């Protein structure tokens, strides 16, 4: 389809599943990850280096994000799809035992990163008057999970950020939605709850397929709204709140 797609957290999990599908569809994917730890597996699954360009970027750093997006604009001239997928969660712990450092890390990787990418990409979308921003939240952002206070709160913030962007730009032409997956069989899920639990969760491939169906128009999610994908089905599509 020849789209320019930018995905954070693109070297594993849902981000990699998305990158595979976009490349297969003929799109060019600029993938971001904060480390190179998963790059070997990512390159094994998507060997086409011309269509899948991986870069190491600290998405919690304003100067790095600004510099990276400036480079994308120069290289590609546009952004058709931005998917803010980078995320972090610490091991489950009671709120009174949560350290400030861990609380801040959740907000940095889940919410601040999404804010910075949107902040520096919005001028591109406003100029284009078209395109998609998809912010990946979580079921935890809709319904808080005990022992994951920081994660739940930060993912709830992602939903609010999406709604704010749309309310500020009602006639802008681009669309911005939140995707709220339930548990997925990813390395992060296995690290938090164990491999046995992770294997019981929905596949990131299923969630990726639904996201591409949203972009193709097969599934309609209103700008500013959110979609909950849980237990291998679409559980709900919620419209944005009234202005």
- SS3 labels along the chain: CCCEEEEECCCCHHHHHHHHHHHHCCCEEEEEECCCCCHHHHHHHCCCCCCEEEEECCCCCHHHHHHHHHHHHHHHCCCCEEEECCCCCCCCCCHHHCCHHHHHHHHHHHHHHHHHHHHHHHHHHHHHCCCEEEEECCHHHHCCCCCCHHHHHHHHHHHHHHHHHHHHCCCCCCEEEEEEECCECCHHHHHHHCHHHHHCCECHHHHHHHHHHHHHCCCCCCCCCEEEEECCEEEEEECCCCC
The catalytic residue among 68, 88, 109, 151 is 151
| Known active-site residue 151 | yes
Catalytic positions are 151
């Amino acid at each position: 389809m020849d789209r320019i797609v930018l995905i954070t957290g693109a070297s594993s999990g849902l981000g990699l599943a998305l990158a595979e599908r976009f490349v297969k569809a003929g799109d060019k994917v600029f993938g971001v990850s904060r480390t190179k730890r998963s790059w070997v597996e990512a390159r094994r699954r998507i060997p086409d280096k011309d269509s899948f360009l991986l870069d190491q970027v600290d998405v919690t750093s304003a100067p790095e994000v600004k510099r990276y997006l400036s480079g994308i604009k120069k290289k590609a001239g546009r952004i058709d799809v931005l998917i803010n997928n980078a995320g972090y969660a610490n091991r489950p712990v009671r709120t009174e035992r949560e350290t400030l450092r861990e609380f801040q890390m959740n907000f940095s990787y889940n919410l601040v990163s999404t804010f910075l990418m949107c902040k520096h990409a919005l001028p591109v979308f406003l100029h284009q008057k078209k395109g998609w921003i998809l912010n990946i939240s979580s079921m935890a952002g809709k319904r808080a999970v005990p022992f994951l206070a920081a994660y739940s709160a930060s993912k709830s913030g992602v939903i609010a950020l999406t709604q704010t962007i749309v309310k500020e730009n009602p006639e802008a032409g681009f669309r911005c939605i939140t995707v709220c997956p339930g548990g997925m069989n990813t390395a992060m899920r296995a690290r938090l709850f164990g491999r046995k639990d992770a294997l019981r969760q929905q596949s990131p491939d299923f969630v990726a397929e639904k996201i591409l169906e949203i972009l193709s128009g097969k599934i309609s999610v209103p700008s500013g709204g959110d979609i909950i994908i849980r237990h291998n089905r679409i559980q709900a599509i919620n419209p944005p709140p009234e202005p």
